[in-house]
Structure 1
């Protein structure tokens, strides 16, 4: 089925109309962190302590903090800004989302490490551009989004695993990836330029700010897709 640009961006526009205050709050905090690192004396030393905890915590730190940034914090913000009458997620849905974010945290942490090995730790324009392009045009559509969409499809068919596996078709996954990817391309490139401009030891902690904002949009889109007629069987 042919999908035009308006159809791709509609879920993102709907999500932004609902959650723009939460998005601005989180992005403002991320910008404040970057500005303070470069311009406020003593901030770099304080952030180095965050980097120390990240290094010492390893993959456990990546998993737990991504659950907080991608699951817990956005849910608290959504409860504050969600329109009256909208249903809150069930305990099962929250557990499903938190588990997904823990896995994503592990994947992203290793991807950042991989990029540092391939492209280096510089923050020159060429290096920044290479990392953003690799992130948004390769890593995100080929690995992260197929995993997320498949995770939601299986949850939607949790009462019948066989039906869930049958729904994991290329066409179905592609159809559901496109709106989220379009949203990603509207949000992440600029955010990643900020993330990758910091020393590598601080890139994952700063990613957590962006992840909190974007996950608010992404979960909104994924839930809307599951509520559409036909669910995950398109």
Structure 2
């Protein structure tokens, strides 16, 4: 039985990576455009700087609200306009739940960036960026992504106790979550490097942009 389980897990990992390959390539192209815009456009630099200043002034409420806007409201609105998805009672329920989940994630990301400044400093050298990327993707990301996946899967399971037990089991983690996590690593490590390349005040705004772009790509790929 043990020998039969392992190939299945490897197949799931391979399928997850393949499913995220095209969205990942699109995201990486978007990251290249973002970097060029930041390097060459004073307007982009000024806009991000102003955004960062507002974020510092409002603190965690702004972190909550901005993640809701860029991870929930903007992608959802565009999916209804472009993909012609209909608004239903279920849509409003999803928006409310997603607001709570992504808003809390926004606060946790803000806290992560502040913690990393204390741990590793604010340098943009290769060593500092590498440390932040490793801490982000291999310490914070596995936990935060797991919480997010469980939160939405539990909702799909009508918040039942049996669904929750299945979601927190070792079998679910190894057979279902681990393939997702590996695919996320393959796609998001370049994005995280771009975030930590930016000055500290601009990291959270850039993270918002990348997250929104990713959610939009994911929605369009699922629709296709």
Comparing 191-200 with 151-160, greater Cα deviation is found at: 151-160
Q: Does 1:152 align with 2:157?
A: no
Counterpart residue number, 2:191: 191
Distance (whole Å) between structure 1 residues aligned to residue 192 and residue 135 of structure 2: 11
The 8 Å contact of residues 116 and 132 in structure 2, kept in 1 or not, is answered as yes
The 8 Å contact of residues 79 and 85 in structure 2, kept in 1 or not, is answered as no
Q: What pairs up with 1:127-142 in 2 under 5 angstroms?
A: 127-141=128-142
Counterpart residue number, 1:176: 176
Q: What pairs up with 1:198-213 in 2 under 5 angstroms?
A: 198-213=198-213
Q: Does 1:114 align with 2:119?
A: no
Distance (whole Å) between structure 1 residues aligned to residue 78 and residue 10 of structure 2: 29
How much has 1:197 moved relative to structure 2?
0.7
Q: SS where residue 59 of structure 2 aligns? A: helix
Unaligned runs of 5+ in 1: 224-234
Judged with a 3 Å threshold, the aligned counterparts in structure 2 of structure 1 residues 39 and 6 are, in CA distance, closer, same or farther, namely same
How much has 1:25 moved relative to structure 2?
7.8
* Structure with more relative contact order (C-alpha pairs < 8 Å, separation 6 or more): 2
Q: What pairs up with 1:31-180 in 2 under 5 angstroms?
A: 31-41=32-42, 43-79=44-80, 90-141=91-142, 143-158=143-158, 160=160, 162-167=161-166, 168-180=168-180
Judged with a 3 Å threshold, the aligned counterparts in structure 2 of structure 1 residues 163 and 6 are, in CA distance, closer, same or farther, namely closer
The 8 Å contact of residues 65 and 208 in structure 1, kept in 2 or not, is answered as yes
Judged with a 3 Å threshold, the aligned counterparts in structure 2 of structure 1 residues 86 and 41 are, in CA distance, closer, same or farther, namely closer
The 8 Å contact of residues 122 and 200 in structure 2, kept in 1 or not, is answered as yes
TM-score for the superposition, normalised by structure 1: 0.76
Unaligned runs of 5+ in 2: none
The 8 Å contact of residues 27 and 209 in structure 1, kept in 2 or not, is answered as no
The 8 Å contact of residues 27 and 213 in structure 1, kept in 2 or not, is answered as no
Distance (whole Å) between structure 2 residues aligned to residue 79 and residue 73 of structure 1: 10
Q: SS where residue 90 of structure 1 aligns? A: helix
Q: How many residues align?
A: 215
Structure having the higher helix fraction is 2
